[in-house]
Amino acid sequence: MRRLLFLLPLSLLFAACGGSSSPSAGGGPVMQMIQISEKEYSLTPGTVTISKTGTYDFRVTNNGTIAHALEIQGNGVEKKIGDIQPGASATLRATLSKDGSYEIYCPIDGHRDSGMEGDLTVGAAMGGGSTGTTEDEGSTTSDDGYGYGSG
């Protein structure tokens, strides 16, 4: 029975070593791929919500009839992908390391003003309601300063 006791932890070691090896080259692991469709002049979906920070692939498909592009901007992030021809798609990889709001839009002249823009929110999972829109307005933060310890 001594031998069995010795073999057990060894096999555990092997199991631990043979972890999943990701084929992705460089950067962190991609958390998720987000599909975005572009056309004149809108982004679909117009609102993207991501529950946690990390590296994401934005798969942009141009369903329009002219070339489009995509830019993500906010919280120190500025990522852009060049012209995507009609019917083509491209992937924009962005590392969103901070919770907050980001802007997504088509940086081609006039397209954003015409409606090719959307909101990207990171970290919305905290305090999110189950259904409907939850607008928390003016949470009363009573800051009463009792001087404990003074005496």
Which residues contribute to the site for Cu ion (CB under 5 A)? 68, 106, 108, 111, 116
Closest contact distance (angstroms) between CB of 67 and Cu ion is: 7
- 3-class secondary structure, 89: strand
Q: Which is nearer to Cu ion, 36 or 68 (by Cβ)? A: 68
Q: Are strands 117-122 and 100-105 parallel, antiparallel or unpaired?
A: antiparallel
Phi, psi of 145 (to 5 degrees): -95, 90
Residues 69 and 82 sit within 8 Å (Cβ to Cβ): yes
Q: Determine the Cα–Cα distance for residues 104 and 73; give it in Å rounded to an integer.
A: 7
Closest contact distance (angstroms) between CB of 49 and Cu ion is: 22
Closest contact distance (angstroms) between CB of 72 and Cu ion is: 14
CA-angle at 51, arms to 45 and 54, nearest 5°: 100
Question: How many Å separate Cα 145 from the centre of its chain?
Answer: 39
Closest contact distance (angstroms) between CB of 96 and Cu ion is: 22
